[in-house]
Amino acid sequence: TIIGIDDVQTLQASHVFSDGLQQPLNNTDVKWSSSNSNVATFIAGKLQGVSAGEATITATYNNFSATQKIIVRNYVEQPKETDIAPDKVWTVTFNTNVNVQTIKQQSMYVTNAKDEIVPMLYYVEQSNGKNVQLMPVTPYTPGETYTLWVKDVKSSSNVALEQFTKKEFTVK
């Protein structure tokens, strides 16, 4: 699992029965811990990325435990832009063709000032699989500031993006 610095995620542990049936556990009954709280820690029961690095997350329930490796990546902040058109289509260019299956709302998205995800349409150019376009479903609100996030995208050969990116922009 890859998250960014300051990303917060709610984790869910499940009991897996011998017949394969899974039943989610009540998270208040699960003890969560991190092998490196300088990289990833738990705040109010939620996992938060603290700094770039790796940690192992352990869930313990009634003498049973399970682990998951977590990688926390830092974001490169691109220069802020102002006077962006309300219907701006962003083109993100990668250095290699992207795995279209990894282009989704959790990997490339725009958030508003309230950290709400803005609905977007995605288009990968067939003639150049390195370019991904993000189009807002409805126009951005004039005067508002938004953030474009790019993370957890993989190449067509399934290699993970090395560096997460974010870009703040304000609509004219």
Q: In this predicted structure, what is the pLDDT of residue 2?
A: 82
Per-residue pLDDT of the chain (172 residues; tens, 9 = 90+): 888 888 889 899 998 899 999 999 988 899 999 999 999 999 878 999 999 999 999 999 999 999 999 989 888 889 999 999 999 999 999 999 999 999 988 899 999 999 899 999 999 988 889 999 999 999 999 999 999 999 889 999 999 887 889 999 999 9
Q: In this predicted structure, what is the pLDDT of residue 44?
A: 78
Alpha carbons 29 and 3: distance in angstroms, whole number: 24
Q: Residue written as tokens 């993989």?
A: 154
Amino acid identity of residue 106, one-letter, is Q
Alpha carbons 161 and 73: distance in angstroms, whole number: 10
DSSP state letter for 25: P
Q: Measuring CA to CA, which residue among 18, 19, 8, 15 is closest to residue 64?
A: 15
pTM of the model: 0.68
Q: Measuring CA to CA, which residue among 140, 126, 130 is closest to residue 89?
A: 140
Q: Which tokens is 14 given?
A: 């499940």
Amino acid identity of residue 71, one-letter, is I
Residue 62: which residues within 8 A CB-CB, separation 6 or more?
none
Alpha carbons 165 and 163: distance in angstroms, whole number: 6
Residue 93: which residues within 8 A CB-CB, separation 6 or more?
130, 131
Number of Cβ atoms within 10 Å of the Cβ of 140: 21
Q: In this predicted structure, what is the pLDDT of residue 155?
A: 93
